[in-house]
Chain A
Amino acid sequence: GQNIDQPTEMTATEGAIVQINCTYQTSGFNGLFWYQQHAGEAPTFLSYNVLDGLEEKGRFSSFLSRSKGYSYLLLKELQMKDSASYLCAVMDSNYQLIWGAGTKLIIKP
């Protein structure tokens, strides 16, 4: 079966760095997406990786290792507004997005 695993919840301090991991097992691979979802709001796109390596976008970076079925989202210089759920999703061979359950990130002052 297809499976996306990520931690349920993480806590970090304002100004610090946090890494949210995602491992996946899917039938085929056409890219991995990270989305941010604030409580009561819709998911919004953060990043896309299809080749191995690190993609940097401001304070956020996303890494992919296809051979290991592994990705992480790195958030630097954490701000209170970064408190949200972070969803990992993989596009399989049928171009269907398989979603993880999300990681709730709590930022403390």
Chain B
Amino acid sequence: DAGVIQSPRHEVTEMGQEVTLRCKPISGHNSLFWYRQTMMRGLELLIYFNNNVPIDDSGMPEDRFSAKMPNASFSTLKIQPSEPRDSAVYFCATSRAGQGGDGYTFGSGTRLTVV
């Protein structure tokens, strides 16, 4: 199993540009989570999906952020337009849905720098 695959690993973009982060979950994991990590705020939940359906997007900072999961094998997190304060490491994590208690498997993250 290749684990949770995120791309790109690093992204440097100019303020105002659109950024798209991608995640391929582990096969059979039907819960998918997007987190953002910074030194100041730690690991913050942005949005999560269950069976491709967004369940809770209350962590999405503002309308500039959007996330989709068109099928069980792929999810995207888009920022448009990007701002310097969006600079962070963005993680995708997946788990098997159920009664809870399954650990999350995280991807290696995308380090985003907006200049």
User: Are A and B part of the same complex?
Assistant: no
